[in-house]
């Protein structure tokens, strides 16, 4: 796509992200989308994606959470979906299809249900998904986890509420029953390192994963009242 036209579409996407996600809690706010965009473009460059592929990556990264099921039911006003924006901006059909396919299939819920086949995934998909997962681990990931849990009224930790280790897709989506913010580390975050799909993603996940492991050791020590 022509650079000038593409820049206009990016600006439209950024405006939608600010308008919609700016009203959400800061675990999934506009800054999250912008961080994922930056991570995805960096990973894409390291994976030698073409300029056209990087355009797909940028727009998919920006819009990947606009239609997030966790917030859809809480939004008081309907907003433009990712696909509606892309169609309104008159993107080529093949580009729109690629972007919406990435957004539709990148969730953790699909992977734990066995619906995701890594061998059939595009490089653009792998890059965007890895970028989103990198933002879910490390220092930022820890902050986001407790922010989201607090927004839903989850306690930080309760030793009497164990994590649900083998969640099905329905159980993960519904998030029924009592849970805690700390359980989310064991139910999802500690699994993400081994689910990275690009070489660059796997490399950067190592340090962020180690940060979470060290944090959890310290957390449990302090929870028990140890100095």
Structure confidence by residue, pLDDT tens digits, 6-59: 999 999 999 999 999 999 999 999 999 999 999 999 999 999 999 999 999 999
For the stretch 15-19, contacts whose Cβ atoms lie closer than 8 Å and that sit 24 or more positions apart, written own/partner, are 16/63, 16/66, 16/79, 16/80, 16/85, 17/62, 17/63, 17/66, 19/79
Residue ranges of the domains in the chain? 3-223
> C-alpha angle 90/130/201, rounded to 5°?
130
**98-125 mean pLDDT:** 78
- Nearest in space to 137 (alpha carbons), one of 186, 92, 94, 103: 186
Structure confidence by residue, pLDDT tens digits, 153-195: 999 999 999 998 776 656 655 555 689 999 999 999 999 999 9
Task: Fold for 3-223, please state it.
Answer: Hypothetical protein af1432 (1.10.3210)
């Amino acid at each position: 796509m022509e650079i000038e036209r593409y820049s206009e579409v990016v600006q439209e996407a950024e405006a939608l992200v600010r308008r919609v996600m700016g009203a959400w809690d800061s675990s999934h706010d506009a800054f999250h989308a912008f961080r994922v965009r930056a991570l995805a473009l960096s990973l894409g460059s390291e994976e030698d994606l073409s300029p056209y592929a990087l355009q797909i990556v940028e727009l998919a990264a920006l819009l990947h959470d606009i239609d997030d099921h966790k917030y859809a039911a809480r939004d008081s006003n309907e907003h433009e979906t990712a696909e509606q924006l892309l169609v309104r901006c008159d993107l080529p059909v093949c580009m729109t299809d690629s972007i919406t396919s990435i957004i539709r299939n990148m969730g953790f819920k699909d992977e734990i249900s066995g619906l995701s086949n890594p061998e059939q995934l595009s490089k653009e998909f792998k890059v965007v998904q890895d970028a989103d997962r990198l933002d879910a681990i490390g220092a930022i990931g820890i902050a986001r986890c407790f922010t989201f849990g607090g927004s839903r009224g989850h306690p930080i930790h309760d030793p009497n509420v164990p994590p649900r280790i083998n969640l099905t897709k329905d159980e993960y989506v519904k998030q029924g029953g009592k849970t805690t913010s700390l359980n989310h580390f064991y139910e999802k975050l500690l699994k993400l390192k081994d689910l990275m799909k690009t070489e660059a993603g796997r490399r950067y996940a190592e340090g962020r994963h180690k940060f979470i492991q060290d944090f959890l050791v310290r957390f449990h020590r302090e929870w028990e009242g140890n100095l």
